[in-house]
């Protein structure tokens, strides 16, 4: 029996995403936010640039999120019972009052991530509310049924994507705003076109993105991905499995995360003209 309702599954099949899904209480979200702020204060370089990736390798708090059974139940409904965690990214958008104006260009995740076949799903957990005002995501429904589109590398410094990539001429009036309360989740398909605008509010917008949950039948065709078993059995053994952190910022875990992030960087910048800040 599935956890997602038939309406939610229909939304995924027809539109390429599902939102919102209730996952964590505000009390649990507060602890996650405190963990971010604690790391930022104590180790100011740790979560910026390439360091926005794979915080679940150095923080037991985030490790617990990626192995959360409520998230895995809904992910299982989409990709089946054998699930690996293929990576995570913190998408933090500072308030519009800061000197940078971060946004995310229109893109399809499948263009750069290298996971084939597309038996995978991206889970976006709202650590703060995410809405039109503070730069929540917008989806272009139905585009997951299309092929990979042409992406232009702009290297715009405010674009939170690695190469500042963007799909041009997206009809904004056909896109839909994803509104999430802190603690809610959205799921999106590898091919659905999405992006997000600047944060015009007075506070940060934070999304913790499991990018992505992959079925064990999914290989990495560009480079190397490390994985954790989230549920079920790895029947294919395409990837190297990693251990889970038991304390924050353990030295061994830091070294491992740095090398995993370097491998990720090679994937995300394959054939790019230059390397950006992430």
Ligand X SMILES: O=C(O)CCC(=O)C(=O)O
Q: Kindly list the residues in this chain that would bind ligand X in the complex (CB under 6 A).
A: 91, 104, 109, 122, 124, 137, 194, 196, 207, 209, 211
In whole angstroms, give the CA distance from residue 245 to residue 64.
Answer: 10
Judged by beta carbon, residue 127 or residue 256, the one nearer ligand X is: 127
Number of H helices, E strands in the chain: 6, 16
Judged by beta carbon, residue 62 or residue 91, the one nearer ligand X is: 91
Smallest gap from residue 81 Cβ to ligand X (A): 24
Judged by beta carbon, residue 19 or residue 253, the one nearer ligand X is: 19
Q: How many CB atoms lie within 10 A of CB 10?
A: 12
Smallest gap from residue 191 Cβ to ligand X (A): 12
Smallest gap from residue 113 Cβ to ligand X (A): 9
Smallest gap from residue 4 Cβ to ligand X (A): 19
- Buried/exposed 119-154: b ≥16 CB within 10 Å, e otherwise: bbbbbbbbbbbbbebbbbbbbbbebbeeeebebebe
In whole angstroms, give the CA distance from residue 232 to residue 104.
Answer: 33
Judged by beta carbon, residue 196 or residue 253, the one nearer ligand X is: 196
User: Can you read off the two tokens belonging to residue 212?
Assistant: 């992505």
């Amino acid at each position: 029996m599935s956890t997602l309702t038939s309406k939610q599954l229909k939304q995924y099949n027809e539109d390429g995403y599902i939102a919102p899904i209730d996952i964590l209480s505000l009390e649990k979200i507060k602890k996650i936010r405190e963990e971010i702020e604690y790391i930022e204060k104590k180790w100011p370089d740790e979560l910026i640039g390439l360091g926005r990736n794979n915080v679940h390798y150095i923080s037991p708090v985030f490790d617990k999120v990626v192995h959360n059974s409520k998230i895995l139940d809904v992910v299982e409904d989409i990709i089946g019972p054998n699930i690996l965690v293929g990576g995570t990214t913190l998408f933090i958008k500072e308030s519009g009052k800061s000197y940078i104006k971060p946004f995310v260009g229109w893109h399809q995740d499948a263009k750069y991530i290298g996971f084939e076949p597309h038996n995978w799903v991206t889970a976006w957990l709202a650590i703060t509310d995410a809405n039109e005002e503070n730069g929540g995501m917008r989806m272009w429904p139905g585009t997951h049924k299309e092929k990979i589109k042409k992406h232009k590398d702009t290297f715009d410094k405010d674009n939170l994507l690695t190469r500042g990539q963007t799909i041009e001429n997206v009809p904004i009036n056909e896109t839909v705003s994803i509104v999430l309360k802190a603690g809610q989740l959205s799921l999106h398909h590898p091919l659905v076109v999405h992006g997000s605008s600047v944060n015009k509010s007075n506070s940060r917008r934070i999304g913790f993105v499991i990018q992505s949950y992959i079925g064990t039948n999914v290989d990495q065709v560009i480079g190397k991905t490390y994985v954790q078993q989230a549920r079920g059995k790895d029947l294919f053994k395409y990837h190297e499995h990693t251990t889970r952190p038991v304390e924050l910022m353990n030295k061994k875990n830091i070294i491992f995360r740095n090398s995993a992030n370097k491998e990720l960087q090679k994937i995300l910048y394959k054939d790019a003209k230059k390397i950006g800040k992430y």
